[in-house]
Amino acid sequence: MKSFAATLRRLREHLRGSLFVVAMLSALTVGAFAQDAGFGTISGTVGVNTPTSTAFTLDNASLNPFYGNFLTQVQVQAYSPQTIVDNVSGISNLTAGNSVSISTLFLNNVTPPFQITKVRKH
């Protein structure tokens, strides 16, 4: 199990002083964050639920099983205006079936598990 301090150091090094980290950490409890957190980029397909300006879903069948065996579509949390969007004018303009990549903080056993810093539509 990673220590809380080590996980924070890795996150800080990855984001290099971004104020976005403050928004993400303010929504989390220390215990949930310390359990299992990881930052990375993943790809998937936008689910059928209608996206809002701060959230959308990923089709569970399109995700790597490393992140868990999700039985339903997985909610992705964005933070407006901090989340960067690429090849789409806004998160609410994503549609079901769009192929996307997200830069995300993955939090195991937290809902929603994906807290994103960037989304790119392919």
pLDDT of residue 20: 52
Answer yes or no: are the C-beta atoms of 121 and 99 closer than 8 Å.
yes
53-112 pLDDT, tens digit per residue, is 999 999 988 888 877 778 889 999 998 888 999 999 999 999 999 999 999 988 877 888
Count Cβ atoms within 10 A of the Cβ of residue 81 and give its class: 0-12 exposed, 13-18 middle, 19 or more buried.
Answer: exposed
State the Cα–Cα distance between residues 114 and 41, nearest whole angstrom.
Answer: 11
Q: Measure the CA–CA gap between 87 and 3, rounded to whole angstroms.
A: 37
Ordered by start, the domain boundaries in the chain are: 4-121
Tell me how far CA of residue 111 lies from CA of 17, 26, 64, 76, in angstroms: 25, 14, 18, 9
What CATH fold (topology level) applies to the domain 4-121?
OB fold (Dihydrolipoamide Acetyltransferase, E2P) (2.40.50)
The share of the chain scoring above pLDDT 70, in percent, equals 70
* DSSP 8-state secondary structure symbol assigned to residue 25: H
Residue 26 scores a pLDDT above 80: no
User: Max Cα separation, the chain?
Assistant: 39
> Which stretch of 12-16, 47-51, 71-75, 91-95 has the lowest confidence by average pLDDT?
12-16
